Amino acid sequence: MLAQALVASTRRHSARAAVRYGGQTLTYEQLITEASAVAAELRRLADRMELPEEEPACGLLFNHGISGIIGVVASVLAGLVYVPLDASYPPGRLSQISRHSGIRIMVTDLDGLAAAEAIGSGLSFPGEIVRVDAPSFKPGSKPEIPGKMHKRQYLLYTSGSTGVPKGVVQQGASIVHFAETYIREQGITADDRLTLFSTFGHDAAVVDIFAGLLSGACLYPLDLRIPENLLRLPGWLEGNGITVWHSVPSLFRTFFTSVRRLPQLPSLRLAVLGGEALRAGDYSLCSGRLPGTKLYSLYGQTESSYSAGHFISSARDASAVGLPLAGTKLLIARGEGSFTVISPRGSLTQESCELLRTHRIPAGELLIASAYVAEGYFNAADASEQAFITSPAFGTIYRTGDMAEIDDTGRIMFRGRIDAQIKIRGYRIEPGEIESHILTIAGVKECAVLPIVRDGQATLTGFIQADHSLSLASVNLWLSQRLPDYMLLSEVIMKEQFPHTLTGKIDRRGLADNYGEMIIS
Protein backbone atom coordinates (compact mmCIF):
# COMPACT_ATOMS: atom_id res chain seq x y z
CA MET A 1 0.00 0.00 0.00
CA LEU A 2 2.75 2.47 0.92
CA ALA A 3 4.91 1.49 -2.05
CA GLN A 4 1.99 1.94 -4.46
CA ALA A 5 1.20 5.35 -2.99
CA LEU A 6 4.82 6.49 -3.34
CA VAL A 7 5.10 5.34 -6.95
CA ALA A 8 1.79 6.98 -7.86
CA SER A 9 2.85 10.26 -6.28
CA THR A 10 6.22 10.30 -8.04
CA ARG A 11 4.47 9.78 -11.38
CA ARG A 12 2.06 12.65 -10.73
CA HIS A 13 4.82 15.02 -9.65
CA SER A 14 7.79 13.69 -11.63
CA ALA A 15 9.23 17.09 -12.64
CA ARG A 16 8.77 18.76 -9.27
CA ALA A 17 11.46 19.02 -6.61
CA ALA A 18 11.14 16.31 -3.95
CA VAL A 19 14.13 17.17 -1.74
CA ARG A 20 16.47 20.13 -1.53
CA TYR A 21 19.57 20.01 0.63
CA GLY A 22 23.00 21.63 0.60
CA GLY A 23 22.58 23.16 -2.83
CA GLN A 24 21.35 19.88 -4.33
CA THR A 25 17.88 19.25 -5.72
CA LEU A 26 16.33 15.87 -6.40
CA THR A 27 13.14 15.75 -8.46
CA TYR A 28 10.50 13.11 -7.88
CA GLU A 29 11.56 11.33 -11.06
CA GLN A 30 15.20 11.31 -9.95
CA LEU A 31 14.23 10.14 -6.46
CA ILE A 32 12.18 7.18 -7.65
CA THR A 33 14.81 6.23 -10.23
CA GLU A 34 17.72 6.25 -7.79
CA ALA A 35 15.68 4.58 -5.04
CA SER A 36 14.55 1.85 -7.46
CA ALA A 37 18.15 0.98 -8.33
CA VAL A 38 19.01 0.66 -4.63
CA ALA A 39 15.79 -1.29 -3.98
CA ALA A 40 16.74 -3.84 -6.64
CA GLU A 41 20.06 -4.47 -4.87
CA LEU A 42 18.35 -4.73 -1.47
CA ARG A 43 15.84 -7.22 -2.84
CA ARG A 44 18.63 -9.28 -4.42
CA LEU A 45 20.52 -9.44 -1.12
CA ALA A 46 17.37 -10.25 0.88
CA ASP A 47 16.51 -13.13 -1.47
CA ARG A 48 20.06 -14.47 -1.37
CA MET A 49 20.11 -14.34 2.44
CA GLU A 50 16.60 -15.86 2.62
CA LEU A 51 15.60 -13.25 5.17
CA PRO A 52 12.39 -14.09 7.10
CA GLU A 53 9.29 -12.20 6.05
CA GLU A 54 8.00 -9.49 8.38
CA GLU A 55 11.32 -9.42 10.26
CA PRO A 56 13.62 -6.36 10.32
CA ALA A 57 15.95 -6.60 7.33
CA CYS A 58 17.87 -3.37 6.83
CA GLY A 59 19.19 -0.59 9.02
CA LEU A 60 19.20 2.93 7.60
CA LEU A 61 22.26 4.76 8.89
CA PHE A 62 22.21 8.40 7.77
CA ASN A 63 22.68 11.98 8.82
CA HIS A 64 20.36 14.66 7.47
CA GLY A 65 20.32 14.91 3.70
CA ILE A 66 19.14 13.49 0.42
CA SER A 67 20.75 10.06 0.88
CA GLY A 68 18.50 9.23 3.81
CA ILE A 69 15.35 9.96 1.80
CA ILE A 70 16.61 7.67 -0.97
CA GLY A 71 17.30 4.95 1.60
CA VAL A 72 13.80 5.16 3.08
CA VAL A 73 12.08 5.01 -0.31
CA ALA A 74 14.35 2.19 -1.48
CA SER A 75 13.49 0.08 1.58
CA VAL A 76 9.78 0.58 0.96
CA LEU A 77 10.10 -0.32 -2.74
CA ALA A 78 12.12 -3.42 -1.82
CA GLY A 79 9.34 -4.56 0.53
CA LEU A 80 11.72 -4.73 3.49
CA VAL A 81 11.20 -3.79 7.13
CA TYR A 82 13.70 -1.04 7.94
CA VAL A 83 15.23 0.27 11.16
CA PRO A 84 16.23 3.97 11.21
CA LEU A 85 19.62 4.54 12.87
CA ASP A 86 21.02 7.94 13.80
CA ALA A 87 24.63 8.25 12.68
CA SER A 88 25.31 10.55 15.66
CA TYR A 89 24.55 7.78 18.18
CA PRO A 90 27.53 6.22 19.98
CA PRO A 91 28.74 2.89 18.50
CA GLY A 92 27.51 0.96 21.52
CA ARG A 93 23.97 2.22 21.09
CA LEU A 94 23.97 1.48 17.35
CA SER A 95 25.31 -2.02 17.91
CA GLN A 96 22.73 -2.67 20.64
CA ILE A 97 19.84 -1.71 18.35
CA SER A 98 21.31 -3.59 15.39
CA ARG A 99 21.80 -6.73 17.46
CA HIS A 100 18.34 -6.59 19.03
CA SER A 101 16.55 -6.00 15.73
CA GLY A 102 18.60 -8.62 13.87
CA ILE A 103 19.15 -6.52 10.75
CA ARG A 104 21.33 -8.14 8.07
CA ILE A 105 21.77 -5.25 5.64
CA MET A 106 23.09 -1.79 6.47
CA VAL A 107 22.05 1.00 4.08
CA THR A 108 24.17 4.14 4.30
CA ASP A 109 26.31 6.60 2.32
CA LEU A 110 29.92 7.70 2.39
CA ASP A 111 29.36 9.79 5.54
CA GLY A 112 28.01 6.80 7.46
CA LEU A 113 30.30 4.13 6.00
CA ALA A 114 32.80 4.02 8.87
CA ALA A 115 30.04 3.73 11.46
CA ALA A 116 28.31 1.02 9.41
CA GLU A 117 31.53 -0.98 9.15
CA ALA A 118 32.10 -0.66 12.90
CA ILE A 119 28.61 -1.97 13.61
CA GLY A 120 29.04 -4.85 11.16
CA SER A 121 32.31 -5.93 12.73
CA GLY A 122 30.65 -6.18 16.13
CA LEU A 123 27.75 -8.39 15.06
CA SER A 124 27.83 -12.15 15.42
CA PHE A 125 26.69 -12.85 11.85
CA PRO A 126 27.85 -11.62 8.45
CA GLY A 127 26.02 -8.63 7.05
CA GLU A 128 26.05 -6.52 3.91
CA ILE A 129 26.60 -2.78 3.52
CA VAL A 130 24.86 -0.96 0.68
CA ARG A 131 25.79 2.62 -0.15
CA VAL A 132 23.01 4.58 -1.83
CA ASP A 133 25.64 6.93 -3.33
CA ALA A 134 27.76 4.12 -4.78
CA PRO A 135 28.75 4.65 -8.44
CA SER A 136 27.49 1.15 -9.28
CA PHE A 137 23.89 2.30 -8.98
CA LYS A 138 23.23 3.66 -12.45
CA PRO A 139 20.00 5.51 -13.26
CA GLY A 140 17.56 3.67 -15.42
CA SER A 141 15.83 1.17 -13.15
CA LYS A 142 12.07 1.35 -13.30
CA PRO A 143 10.16 1.37 -10.01
CA GLU A 144 8.66 -1.99 -9.21
CA ILE A 145 6.02 -2.71 -6.62
CA PRO A 146 7.04 -5.69 -4.46
CA GLY A 147 5.23 -8.82 -5.59
CA LYS A 148 4.21 -9.64 -2.03
CA MET A 149 3.47 -6.76 0.31
CA HIS A 150 4.06 -7.22 4.03
CA LYS A 151 2.23 -5.50 6.85
CA ARG A 152 5.26 -4.31 8.79
CA GLN A 153 7.27 -1.36 7.50
CA TYR A 154 9.68 -0.17 10.18
CA LEU A 155 11.04 -0.58 13.69
CA LEU A 156 11.70 2.67 15.53
CA TYR A 157 13.57 2.48 18.82
CA THR A 158 12.75 4.60 21.87
CA SER A 159 14.17 4.80 25.37
CA GLY A 160 13.37 1.83 27.62
CA SER A 161 12.96 1.91 31.40
CA THR A 162 14.95 -1.32 31.82
CA GLY A 163 18.07 0.11 30.20
CA VAL A 164 17.35 -1.48 26.79
CA PRO A 165 15.70 0.61 24.04
CA LYS A 166 12.32 -0.63 22.80
CA GLY A 167 11.61 -1.23 19.11
CA VAL A 168 8.16 0.03 18.10
CA VAL A 169 6.73 -2.04 15.22
CA GLN A 170 4.68 0.00 12.75
CA GLN A 171 2.83 -1.04 9.60
CA GLY A 172 2.78 0.46 6.13
CA ALA A 173 -0.98 1.03 6.18
CA SER A 174 -0.60 3.12 9.35
CA ILE A 175 2.10 5.27 7.74
CA VAL A 176 -0.22 6.01 4.81
CA HIS A 177 -3.02 6.84 7.24
CA PHE A 178 -0.90 9.25 9.30
CA ALA A 179 0.57 10.92 6.20
CA GLU A 180 -2.79 11.35 4.46
CA THR A 181 -4.35 12.65 7.67
CA TYR A 182 -1.55 15.20 8.07
CA ILE A 183 -1.95 16.27 4.44
CA ARG A 184 -5.68 16.73 4.90
CA GLU A 185 -5.59 18.45 8.29
CA GLN A 186 -2.76 20.85 7.36
CA GLY A 187 -3.89 21.40 3.78
CA ILE A 188 -0.54 20.25 2.39
CA THR A 189 -0.22 20.64 -1.40
CA ALA A 190 2.48 20.20 -4.02
CA ASP A 191 3.31 23.90 -3.61
CA ASP A 192 4.36 23.50 0.03
CA ARG A 193 7.93 23.48 1.28
CA LEU A 194 8.30 21.47 4.48
CA THR A 195 11.05 21.58 7.08
CA LEU A 196 12.64 18.27 8.04
CA PHE A 197 14.45 19.01 11.30
CA SER A 198 13.91 15.64 12.97
CA THR A 199 16.40 12.83 12.56
CA PHE A 200 15.35 9.66 10.73
CA GLY A 201 15.18 7.86 14.07
CA HIS A 202 12.41 10.13 15.37
CA ASP A 203 8.73 9.53 14.59
CA ALA A 204 8.20 13.18 13.58
CA ALA A 205 10.39 12.47 10.55
CA VAL A 206 7.99 9.70 9.50
CA VAL A 207 5.13 12.19 9.25
CA ASP A 208 7.25 14.83 7.51
CA ILE A 209 8.82 12.51 4.94
CA PHE A 210 5.75 10.61 3.85
CA ALA A 211 3.32 13.54 4.05
CA GLY A 212 5.73 15.48 1.86
CA LEU A 213 6.31 12.72 -0.67
CA LEU A 214 2.66 11.64 -0.93
CA SER A 215 1.50 15.23 -1.54
CA GLY A 216 4.15 16.25 -4.06
CA ALA A 217 5.59 18.86 -1.68
CA CYS A 218 9.33 19.52 -1.30
CA LEU A 219 11.30 18.45 1.78
CA TYR A 220 14.05 20.65 3.21
CA PRO A 221 16.25 18.67 5.64
CA LEU A 222 18.40 20.67 8.06
CA ASP A 223 20.33 19.38 11.07
CA LEU A 224 19.91 21.98 13.79
CA ARG A 225 22.26 20.13 16.11
CA ILE A 226 25.00 21.81 14.09
CA PRO A 227 25.47 25.31 15.60
CA GLU A 228 26.21 26.91 12.22
CA ASN A 229 22.85 25.74 10.87
CA LEU A 230 21.00 27.31 13.77
CA LEU A 231 22.79 30.61 13.14
CA ARG A 232 21.82 30.65 9.48
CA LEU A 233 18.27 29.45 10.08
CA PRO A 234 16.59 32.88 9.62
CA GLY A 235 18.08 33.34 6.16
CA TRP A 236 17.47 29.68 5.32
CA LEU A 237 13.76 30.00 6.09
CA GLU A 238 13.47 33.17 4.03
CA GLY A 239 15.64 32.08 1.11
CA ASN A 240 13.88 28.75 0.65
CA GLY A 241 10.38 30.15 1.09
CA ILE A 242 9.49 27.58 3.75
CA THR A 243 5.73 27.26 4.13
CA VAL A 244 5.38 24.68 6.95
CA TRP A 245 7.57 24.56 10.05
CA HIS A 246 7.41 21.35 12.14
CA SER A 247 9.39 20.96 15.35
CA VAL A 248 9.18 20.44 19.08
CA PRO A 249 7.91 23.48 21.01
CA SER A 250 11.24 24.03 22.78
CA LEU A 251 13.09 24.52 19.47
CA PHE A 252 10.42 26.89 18.18
CA ARG A 253 10.45 28.78 21.49
CA THR A 254 14.23 29.04 21.73
CA PHE A 255 14.72 30.16 18.14
CA PHE A 256 11.97 32.74 17.83
CA THR A 257 12.73 34.16 21.28
CA SER A 258 16.48 34.51 20.74
CA VAL A 259 16.75 35.66 17.13
CA ARG A 260 17.06 39.44 17.08
CA ARG A 261 16.63 40.24 13.43
CA LEU A 262 13.90 38.05 12.06
CA PRO A 263 13.41 38.52 8.32
CA GLN A 264 9.98 38.79 6.81
CA LEU A 265 8.60 35.28 6.33
CA PRO A 266 5.47 35.81 4.24
CA SER A 267 5.58 32.22 2.93
CA LEU A 268 5.49 30.62 6.39
CA ARG A 269 1.78 29.86 6.69
CA LEU A 270 1.88 27.19 9.39
CA ALA A 271 3.93 26.20 12.45
CA VAL A 272 3.22 22.64 13.65
CA LEU A 273 4.47 21.88 17.16
CA GLY A 274 4.46 18.45 18.77
CA GLY A 275 6.49 16.00 20.82
CA GLU A 276 6.33 18.13 23.98
CA ALA A 277 3.71 20.05 25.93
CA LEU A 278 3.03 23.53 24.59
CA ARG A 279 2.93 26.59 26.81
CA ALA A 280 0.60 29.57 26.78
CA GLY A 281 3.51 31.77 25.78
CA ASP A 282 4.02 29.79 22.56
CA TYR A 283 0.81 31.23 21.15
CA SER A 284 1.81 34.76 22.12
CA LEU A 285 5.25 34.23 20.59
CA CYS A 286 3.80 33.00 17.31
CA SER A 287 1.15 35.70 17.01
CA GLY A 288 3.67 38.39 17.94
CA ARG A 289 6.64 37.42 15.78
CA LEU A 290 4.80 35.57 13.01
CA PRO A 291 1.46 37.38 12.63
CA GLY A 292 0.63 35.63 9.35
CA THR A 293 1.41 32.11 10.61
CA LYS A 294 -1.13 29.72 12.10
CA LEU A 295 -0.11 27.61 15.09
CA TYR A 296 -1.05 23.92 15.27
CA SER A 297 -0.59 21.49 18.16
CA LEU A 298 0.05 17.88 17.10
CA TYR A 299 -0.50 15.09 19.62
CA GLY A 300 1.17 11.76 18.92
CA GLN A 301 3.69 9.20 20.08
CA THR A 302 6.10 6.78 18.45
CA GLU A 303 3.37 4.17 18.90
CA SER A 304 0.78 6.39 17.19
CA SER A 305 2.44 9.17 15.21
CA TYR A 306 -0.60 11.43 14.80
CA SER A 307 -3.61 10.80 17.02
CA ALA A 308 -5.09 14.23 17.72
CA GLY A 309 -4.48 17.91 17.17
CA HIS A 310 -5.96 21.36 16.79
CA PHE A 311 -5.24 24.90 15.66
CA ILE A 312 -4.43 27.19 18.57
CA SER A 313 -6.40 30.40 18.60
CA SER A 314 -5.69 31.61 22.14
CA ALA A 315 -3.17 31.09 24.95
CA ARG A 316 -5.76 29.00 26.81
CA ASP A 317 -5.63 26.37 24.03
CA ALA A 318 -1.94 25.60 24.53
CA SER A 319 -2.44 22.75 27.03
CA ALA A 320 -5.29 21.18 25.08
CA VAL A 321 -4.74 17.85 23.33
CA GLY A 322 -7.28 18.57 20.60
CA LEU A 323 -9.84 16.24 19.08
CA PRO A 324 -8.99 12.73 17.92
CA LEU A 325 -8.55 12.34 14.18
CA ALA A 326 -10.50 10.13 11.79
CA GLY A 327 -10.12 6.47 12.65
CA THR A 328 -9.18 7.24 16.25
CA LYS A 329 -10.94 7.53 19.59
CA LEU A 330 -9.50 8.89 22.81
CA LEU A 331 -10.41 7.32 26.15
CA ILE A 332 -9.91 8.91 29.55
CA ALA A 333 -10.05 6.47 32.45
CA ARG A 334 -12.47 7.30 35.25
CA GLY A 335 -11.65 4.32 37.44
CA GLU A 336 -13.22 0.89 37.97
CA GLY A 337 -13.32 0.14 34.24
CA SER A 338 -15.30 3.28 33.39
CA PHE A 339 -14.15 5.61 30.60
CA THR A 340 -15.05 8.82 28.90
CA VAL A 341 -14.82 8.19 25.15
CA ILE A 342 -14.14 11.13 22.82
CA SER A 343 -14.96 10.75 19.13
CA PRO A 344 -13.39 12.68 16.23
CA ARG A 345 -16.43 14.95 16.19
CA GLY A 346 -16.01 15.76 19.85
CA SER A 347 -18.99 13.84 21.21
CA LEU A 348 -18.55 12.41 24.71
CA THR A 349 -19.93 9.11 25.94
CA GLN A 350 -19.48 7.22 29.20
CA GLU A 351 -18.68 3.54 28.72
CA SER A 352 -17.27 0.66 30.71
CA CYS A 353 -15.09 -2.26 29.71
CA GLU A 354 -14.40 -5.23 31.97
CA LEU A 355 -11.20 -6.05 30.07
CA LEU A 356 -9.79 -2.62 30.82
CA ARG A 357 -10.76 -2.96 34.48
CA THR A 358 -8.41 -5.94 34.81
CA HIS A 359 -5.46 -3.80 33.65
CA ARG A 360 -5.91 -1.48 36.65
CA ILE A 361 -5.66 1.67 34.58
CA PRO A 362 -5.46 4.69 36.89
CA ALA A 363 -8.09 7.39 36.74
CA GLY A 364 -7.09 10.15 34.34
CA GLU A 365 -4.87 8.09 32.03
CA LEU A 366 -5.34 8.88 28.34
CA LEU A 367 -5.64 5.95 25.94
CA ILE A 368 -5.75 5.76 22.14
CA ALA A 369 -8.09 3.33 20.40
CA SER A 370 -7.29 2.94 16.72
CA ALA A 371 -6.48 0.38 14.05
CA TYR A 372 -3.39 2.44 13.25
CA VAL A 373 -1.47 2.26 16.53
CA ALA A 374 1.69 0.16 16.53
CA GLU A 375 1.33 -3.59 16.85
CA GLY A 376 3.67 -3.68 19.85
CA TYR A 377 7.34 -3.78 20.77
CA PHE A 378 9.69 -6.06 18.88
CA ASN A 379 10.69 -9.16 20.84
CA ALA A 380 9.36 -7.64 24.06
CA ALA A 381 6.17 -9.50 24.94
CA ASP A 382 5.92 -8.23 28.53
CA ALA A 383 6.33 -4.56 27.56
CA SER A 384 3.80 -5.00 24.73
CA GLU A 385 1.27 -6.61 27.04
CA GLN A 386 1.55 -3.69 29.47
CA ALA A 387 1.16 -0.97 26.83
CA PHE A 388 -1.24 -2.51 24.28
CA ILE A 389 -4.69 -3.96 24.91
CA THR A 390 -6.93 -5.73 22.41
CA SER A 391 -10.56 -5.03 23.19
CA PRO A 392 -13.65 -6.40 21.39
CA ALA A 393 -15.33 -3.05 21.95
CA PHE A 394 -12.52 -0.69 20.92
CA GLY A 395 -10.04 -2.76 18.93
CA THR A 396 -6.38 -2.06 19.67
CA ILE A 397 -5.79 0.33 22.57
CA TYR A 398 -2.49 1.99 23.41
CA ARG A 399 -1.83 3.25 26.93
CA THR A 400 -0.05 6.58 26.50
CA GLY A 401 0.89 7.10 30.15
CA ASP A 402 -0.30 10.70 29.76
CA MET A 403 -2.80 12.18 32.19
CA ALA A 404 -5.73 14.19 30.86
CA GLU A 405 -9.04 15.66 31.93
CA ILE A 406 -11.95 17.39 30.27
CA ASP A 407 -12.35 21.01 31.37
CA ASP A 408 -15.59 22.95 31.78
CA THR A 409 -15.54 23.95 28.10
CA GLY A 410 -15.24 20.35 26.90
CA ARG A 411 -11.58 20.53 25.92
CA ILE A 412 -9.20 17.63 26.60
CA MET A 413 -6.38 19.08 28.70
CA PHE A 414 -2.93 17.50 29.18
CA ARG A 415 -2.12 17.07 32.90
CA GLY A 416 1.30 15.38 33.01
CA ARG A 417 2.44 11.77 33.27
CA ILE A 418 1.57 8.77 35.43
CA ASP A 419 5.20 7.60 35.37
CA ALA A 420 8.74 8.99 35.29
CA GLN A 421 8.94 9.20 31.49
CA ILE A 422 9.82 12.66 30.17
CA LYS A 423 10.49 14.42 26.90
CA ILE A 424 13.42 16.70 26.23
CA ARG A 425 13.80 18.34 22.81
CA GLY A 426 11.00 16.05 21.69
CA TYR A 427 12.88 12.85 22.54
CA ARG A 428 11.21 10.39 24.85
CA ILE A 429 13.47 9.53 27.78
CA GLU A 430 13.11 6.89 30.48
CA PRO A 431 15.30 8.08 33.39
CA GLY A 432 15.70 4.44 34.38
CA GLU A 433 17.72 3.77 31.23
CA ILE A 434 20.22 6.50 32.13
CA GLU A 435 20.33 5.33 35.75
CA SER A 436 21.12 1.76 34.69
CA HIS A 437 24.26 2.97 32.90
CA ILE A 438 25.36 5.27 35.75
CA LEU A 439 25.14 2.32 38.13
CA THR A 440 27.79 0.52 36.05
CA ILE A 441 30.38 3.22 36.89
CA ALA A 442 32.86 1.88 39.42
CA GLY A 443 32.05 2.98 42.97
CA VAL A 444 28.47 4.15 42.34
CA LYS A 445 26.09 2.84 45.01
CA GLU A 446 22.84 4.59 44.19
CA CYS A 447 21.60 7.15 41.69
CA ALA A 448 18.51 8.93 40.42
CA VAL A 449 18.06 11.02 37.28
CA LEU A 450 15.42 13.74 37.54
CA PRO A 451 14.11 16.29 35.07
CA ILE A 452 14.59 19.75 36.54
CA VAL A 453 13.29 23.00 35.06
CA ARG A 454 15.95 25.72 34.97
CA ASP A 455 15.41 29.05 33.26
CA GLY A 456 12.27 27.67 31.66
CA GLN A 457 14.04 24.67 30.09
CA ALA A 458 13.88 21.01 31.11
CA THR A 459 17.28 19.56 31.97
CA LEU A 460 18.51 16.22 33.32
CA THR A 461 20.14 16.23 36.74
CA GLY A 462 21.89 13.19 38.12
CA PHE A 463 21.95 12.60 41.88
CA ILE A 464 24.70 10.11 42.69
CA GLN A 465 25.95 8.37 45.82
CA ALA A 466 29.41 6.88 45.34
CA ASP A 467 32.56 6.07 47.30
CA HIS A 468 34.38 8.89 45.47
CA SER A 469 33.42 12.19 43.85
CA LEU A 470 32.34 12.17 40.20
CA SER A 471 32.38 15.17 37.89
CA LEU A 472 29.76 16.02 35.29
CA ALA A 473 32.39 15.57 32.57
CA SER A 474 33.39 12.09 33.73
CA VAL A 475 29.79 10.88 34.03
CA ASN A 476 28.84 12.27 30.63
CA LEU A 477 31.94 10.76 29.04
CA TRP A 478 30.78 7.35 30.31
CA LEU A 479 27.21 7.93 29.14
CA SER A 480 28.24 9.35 25.75
CA GLN A 481 29.80 6.01 24.87
CA ARG A 482 26.47 4.29 25.46
CA LEU A 483 23.60 6.77 24.96
CA PRO A 484 22.53 9.50 22.51
CA ASP A 485 23.54 13.09 23.31
CA TYR A 486 20.01 14.10 24.31
CA MET A 487 20.28 11.67 27.26
CA LEU A 488 23.39 13.29 28.75
CA LEU A 489 23.20 15.15 32.06
CA SER A 490 23.25 18.91 32.59
CA GLU A 491 24.30 18.61 36.23
CA VAL A 492 25.65 16.05 38.70
CA ILE A 493 24.93 16.38 42.43
CA MET A 494 26.82 14.07 44.79
CA LYS A 495 24.86 12.82 47.80
CA GLU A 496 26.12 11.21 50.98
CA GLN A 497 22.82 9.39 51.30
CA PHE A 498 19.46 9.28 49.55
CA PRO A 499 16.05 9.99 51.10
CA HIS A 500 13.66 7.04 50.85
CA THR A 501 9.92 6.57 51.06
CA LEU A 502 8.26 4.28 53.58
CA THR A 503 8.33 1.51 50.97
CA GLY A 504 12.10 1.82 50.56
CA LYS A 505 12.08 3.53 47.18
CA ILE A 506 14.13 6.65 46.45
CA ASP A 507 12.16 9.75 47.39
CA ARG A 508 12.57 11.60 44.12
CA ARG A 509 10.58 14.63 45.15
CA GLY A 510 12.63 14.90 48.29
CA LEU A 511 15.79 14.84 46.19
CA ALA A 512 14.53 17.64 43.96
CA ASP A 513 13.83 20.03 46.85
CA ASN A 514 15.95 23.17 46.64
CA TYR A 515 17.24 22.24 43.18
CA GLY A 516 14.45 23.58 40.98
CA GLU A 517 11.01 22.49 39.86
CA MET A 518 10.78 18.80 39.07
CA ILE A 519 8.62 18.31 36.00
CA ILE A 520 7.60 14.67 36.33
CA SER A 521 4.15 14.06 37.73
CATH no. for residue 361?
Answer: 2.30.38
69: pLDDT strictly greater than 50: yes
Highest mean pLDDT among 81-85, 198-202, 354-358: 81-85
Confidence of residue 163 (pLDDT cuts 50, 70, 90): low
The pLDDT value given to residue 520: 43
The pLDDT value given to residue 280: 86
For residue 320, is it within any domain? no
Span 321-333, average pLDDT: 93
The pLDDT value given to residue 71: 96
Which tens digits make up the pLDDT trace of 441-477?
Answer: 999 988 889 888 776 677 899 999 998 999 999 999 9
The pLDDT value given to residue 521: 36
For residue 494, is it within any domain? yes
Long-range contacts of range 336-342, CB-CB < 8 Å, 24 or more positions apart? Answer: 339/367, 340/406, 341/369, 342/406, 342/412
Span 99-125, average pLDDT: 83
Residues 33 and 144 in one domain: yes
What pTM value is reported for the model?
A: 0.86
The percent of residues above 70 in pLDDT, for the chain, comes to 92
Task: Measure the CA–CA gap between 448 and 432, rounded to whole angstroms.
Answer: 8
List the single range of 205-219, 282-296, 346-360 with lowest mean pLDDT.
346-360
Residues 380 and 491 in one domain: no
The pLDDT value given to residue 514: 58
208 versus 501: which is more confidently predicted?
208
The percent of residues above 90 in pLDDT, for the chain, comes to 54
Nearest to 38 by CA among 55, 14, 62: 62
For residue 249, is it within any domain? no
Residues 76 and 137 in one domain: yes
Residues 373 and 494 in one domain: no
Which tens digits make up the pLDDT trace of 225-266?
Answer: 888 998 999 999 999 999 999 998 888 988 998 888 889 899
For residue 284, is it within any domain? no
CB 430, CB 159: distance < 8 Å: yes
State the Cα torsion 348-351-353-357 to the nearest 10°: 80
Which tens digits make up the pLDDT trace of 424-433?
Answer: 777 878 888 8
Which tens digits make up the pLDDT trace of 364-404?
Answer: 899 999 999 999 999 999 999 999 998 888 889 999 989 89
The pLDDT value given to residue 145: 65
The mean predicted confidence, pLDDT, of the chain is 88
For residue 414, is it within any domain? no
For residue 30, is it within any domain? yes
CATH number at residue 505: 3.30.300.30
**Residue 189 CB: number of other CB atoms within 10 A?**
11
Span 347-358, average pLDDT: 76
159 versus 122: which is more confidently predicted?
159
Q: What are phi and psi of 417, to 5 degrees?
A: -120, 155
The pLDDT value given to residue 146: 61
Residue where a domain terminates, one of 372, 406, 440:
406
Which tens digits make up the pLDDT trace of 397-408?
Answer: 999 989 898 887
Span 349-367, average pLDDT: 79
State the Cα torsion 484-487-490-494 to the nearest 10°: -120
Nearest to 352 by CA among 330, 336, 371, 329: 336
CATH number at residue 72: 3.40.50.980
The pLDDT value given to residue 471: 93
Residues 123 and 80 in one domain: yes
Residues 467 and 366 in one domain: no
Residues 401 and 427 in one domain: no
The pLDDT value given to residue 398: 95
Residues 115 and 12 in one domain: yes
Residues 454 and 394 in one domain: no
Residue where a domain terminates, one of 171, 195, 211:
171
Which tens digits make up the pLDDT trace of 262-292?
Answer: 898 999 999 999 988 888 889 999 999 999 9
Residues 384 and 447 in one domain: no
347: pLDDT strictly greater than 90: no
Residue where a domain terminates, one of 350, 382, 406:
406
Task: Measure the CA–CA gap between 247 and 250, rounded to whole angstroms.
Answer: 8
Range of the domain at 338: 327-406
For residue 374, is it within any domain? yes
**Residue 332 CB: number of other CB atoms within 10 A?**
22
Span 13-41, average pLDDT: 96
Long-range contacts of range 388-392, CB-CB < 8 Å, 24 or more positions apart? Answer: 388/303, 389/355, 389/356, 389/359, 391/353, 391/355, 391/356, 392/355
List the single range of 230-239, 294-303, 416-425 with lowest mean pLDDT.
416-425
CB 213, CB 219: distance < 8 Å: yes
Residues 45 and 110 in one domain: yes
Query: What's the domain count of the chain?
Result: 3
Q: What is the 3-state secondary structure (H, E, C) of 54-104?
A: CCEEEEEEECCCHHHHHHHHHHHHCCCEEEEEECCCCHHHHHHHHHHHCCC
Parallel, antiparallel or unpaired: strands 270-274 and 294-301: parallel
Residues 381 and 469 in one domain: no
For residue 441, is it within any domain? yes
